[in-house]
Structure 1
């Protein structure tokens, strides 16, 4: 088993690598993409704007994941300082040193981690809505749990959705559809 200082060096090296990655990527491009590269959005095709939005959201997700990992590293260092590092927070048993070597921020033994992961998968499977797009909830007339892309809910079908969205225009550049 490695001693506490070995794990401390491992955690500090991981934090330094993360810091270098954050610095080298300029926060995953978030600083350089404060807005799209053009001054006006008027002449941009909706697909270009969507691509820029997708890239910005992806960069934001990477940045927030990196910050969360930074917090995990700091929490592991605090556990090292208070003597609870390497002890499962759920069952109190020792975490396998091989697991700590691979995942130095581990808070749970492998058995408890597997149980936690299985519960999360069951919860998502039971709720089911975790895999649906957030925008779906904004479509007027679609009840929670309805699937606007396949299984039709009571009184809502593809034609109803088209009629709800038609006044906002189409992607053919013709502007709002006149009725």
Structure 2
């Protein structure tokens, strides 16, 4: 429990802070909010002949003034609540559990009326701006977010932005990266392709004559297969099996134009 001398010290600090806020309100007129509409704070009678960009700037400044005013009023209310607690003798004890608030916490935040564990500031608001309901897709609201589909989702949207840089550095993330530009979550995800081999194979204009173009991705793909001891990423094919889309596989799988995957073609090749 804090002593009477310590309470008096905190009381003097709170009174000093309260006087400073009141002087600020008096000097700035509650951030010009007492003047009414923002036209009056700029000396304009109307915005009829103003450029929309100028009005947007003034609106932004007005919104900032409102936010600063609300923050300062909340600060003043917290000070008054703390002074009232000193007067009633409850200052220094948590309003929720009744335990003593550590002196270090009071020194850092003289307006504290709760211990750290029961501080209302621990609550994280999940309320979002109403504008997000009409901006689609935006802010994580995508149709395929909860599925494993390859469609563009919120994560892809974030990755597109993260490629231009984030506040993280390679030392801040829990994975190894080869380049600073890859220092964002799941930077290894494919971009513009689905399968890894699409990075190093190609066909002619008719979709034939598959060619392998050795590169870094090709080497990594081969190393992955060698490490797994398999021919493909989904496992080895049975001996002698050939895909019907290869030159060798076309003849035995077709008869009079019937593909083996049609009902007529299945019986012949079972």
1:57 maps onto 2:63 in alignment: yes
TM-score of the superposition, structure 1-length normalised? 0.65
Cα drift, residue 32 of structure 1: 5.2
1:134 maps onto 2:130 in alignment: yes
Query: Cα 1:94–1:46, aligned 2, differ >3 Å: closer, same or farther?
Result: same
Cα drift, residue 74 of structure 1: 0.9
Query: Cα 1:41–1:76, aligned 2, differ >3 Å: closer, same or farther?
Result: same
Structure 2 counterpart of 1:30, from 25, 30, 33: 33
Contact 1:33 1:56 (C-alpha < 8 Å) held by counterparts: no
- Corresponding residue number in structure 2 for 1:19: 22
The structure with the largest alpha-carbon Rg is 2
Cα drift, residue 22 of structure 1: 1.7
Once residues 6 and 102 of structure 2 are traced to their aligned partners in structure 1, the CA distance between those partners, rounded to angstroms, is: 13
Contact 2:38 2:59 (C-alpha < 8 Å) held by counterparts: no
Matches within 5 A, 1:20-169: 20-31=23-34, 34-36=37-39, 37=42, 38-113=44-119, 116-118=120-122, 120-121=123-124, 124=126, 130=127, 132-137=128-133, 139=134, 147-148=137-138, 151-152=141-142
Once residues 150 and 94 of structure 1 are traced to their aligned partners in structure 2, the CA distance between those partners, rounded to angstroms, is: 42
Q: Output one character per residue of 1:143-166: Cα deviation in whole Å (capped at 9) or x when no partner.
A: xxx64577556xxxxxxxxxxxxx
Instruction: Figure out how many residues of one structure are paired with residues of the other and give that number.
Output: 138
Query: Cα 1:91–1:52, aligned 2, differ >3 Å: closer, same or farther?
Result: same
Structure 2 residues without counterparts, runs of 5 or longer: 144-270
Cα drift, residue 33 of structure 1: 6.7
Structure 1 residues without counterparts, runs of 5 or longer: 125-129, 154-179
Q: Give SS of 1:3's match.
A: helix
